Amino acid sequence: MVWQKTLARPLTITGIGLHQGRPATLTVFPAAANTGIRLVREDLPHRPQVPALYTSVVGTARNTTLGDGQPLFFTVEHLLAALLGVGVDNALILVEGPEIPIMDGSAAPFTERLLATGFRLLPEPRTYLVMRRPVEYREGERWMRASPGQPRITYTIDFPHPLIGRQRYSIPLNTSAFCREIAPARTFGFLKEVEQLRSQGLALGGSLDNALVLGEEQVLNPEGLRFPDEFVRHKILDVMGDLALLGVPLLGRVEVVRGSHDFHLRFIHHLISQEESWRLWVPPIYNRKLRRSWSFTPAWGGVPAQA
Ligand SMILES: [Zn+2]
C-alpha cells in the first residue's frame, strides 16, 4: 500500500465506558494526509487534543490511556488497533468524555463500522518504519522483539488458569487476516479480579456483554468462546493497538512472550532509542502525474472549525 488513507465520511459510534459505566460517544472524522490519528475531548473547555503517539501515553494499568500530562482518553487500544488493522493513517477522533466505548470488548464493532463507512486514498505516500536489524527487550521471562522480515505478529501467553495455560498465535499483518482472526477476540478478566476492581469503583460498565469472564474452571459467558484461543488472539489485538502508537506502520516481524500494555510501551521506547536498527521509508511513487492530478476535497463538509 503506497498511499495514505482516511475515512470516506464521518463515523459516529456510541456505547458505554468500561470503567465509569456511563454512555460514551465518539465521531471519527476524515483528515488530510500527514495529520495522523488525533483525539479531541469535545466535552472539555478548550477541547484538548493529543496525537495518538507513544509520547502521549500517561497510563498503562490494564488499558492504554492517552493525555497531555493529565489522563484524557482511557481504553484507546482496541479502536487504535482497528484503525491500524484496516489501514487508516489519518483521522480526527472527537470524544464526548474520558472513555472510548468498550463495545463487546473486541475490535470487531469498530472494524465493521469502519469497513461499512469506506475509505478514501490521499495523494501522499505513506511512511513506514522498516526494521534493519533485530531489536529485543527482555524482563525476566517476558520479552518482545522486532526484526526484519514479512510483517507478522506472533504472541505467546502463559496464564496459570486451566482454560488458558500456554497459547501461541501468529498472523500476517494484513486487513483480511486482522478482521477475520483478531478483531473479534474479546478482552478477558478473572471473576476474582472483577470483584476487586468493582470494590475500587472500576469496571462499573463491565459485564458479560463486553468481556470474557473466567471463574475458577469455566467461562461465565453463556455463549462461550469465539475461538478456542481467543485469549492470545486478544493479546495480538492489544499489541497492535500499542504498536499503532508508533504513528507509522511497522514493516517487520514482531514476537511477544507474556506481554502487557506497560511492557509493550517499554519495548516501543527501547525500539525508538535503537535508531540504527530501523529506518523510516516512503515507497517510491512511480506515477507522479497521477499524484498531481489528485486533490483532496472533503466531500463531507470538513472538520469542525476549531478542531
Ligand atoms: Zn484489550
Q: What is the pLDDT of residues 35-72, one digit of tens each?
A: 999 999 999 999 999 999 999 999 888 789 999 999 99
Q: Looking at the annotation, which residues are catalytic? A: 261
Percent of the chain with pLDDT over 90: 77
CA distance 225 to 144: 27
Annotate 63-97 with b (16+ C-beta within 10 A) or e (fewer). bbbbbeeeebbbbbbbbbbbbbbbbbbbbbbbbbb
Cα 130 to ligand 1 centre (Å): 26
CA distance 165 to 291: 51
**pTM, entire model:** 0.92
C-alpha cell at position 107: 475490535
Examine the pLDDT at 287 and tell me if it is beyond 80: no
CA-based Rg of the chain, rounded to a whole angstrom? 19
Written as one string, the DSSP assignment of 183-247 is TTPPPEEEHHHHHHHHHTT--TT--TTTSEEE-SSSB-STT--SSTTHHHHHHHHHHHHHHGGGS
Cα 279 to ligand 1 centre (Å): 29
pLDDT of residue 195: 82
Cα 145 to ligand 1 centre (Å): 20
Q: Residues 1-7: what's their mean pLDDT?
A: 93
pLDDT of residue 299: 44
pLDDT of residue 14: 96
Cα 197 to ligand 1 centre (Å): 16
Write out pLDDT tens, residues 219-268. Answer: 999 999 999 999 999 999 999 999 999 999 999 999 999 999 999 999 99
pLDDT of residue 301: 44
Q: Which domains does the chain have, with CATH numbers?
A: 3-293 (3.30.1700.10)
**Nearest of 9, 88, 80 to residue 39 by alpha carbon:** 80
Examine the pLDDT at 5 and tell me if it is beyond 80: yes
Cα 194 to ligand 1 centre (Å): 15
Cα 75 to ligand 1 centre (Å): 8
What are the E-state strand segments in the chain?
Answer: 3-7, 11-16, 23-30, 37-41, 49-51, 57-59, 65-67, 71-73, 91-95, 119-125, 128-131, 135-139, 142-147, 152-159, 165-172, 188-190, 212-214, 250-251, 253-257, 278-281
Cα 155 to ligand 1 centre (Å): 14
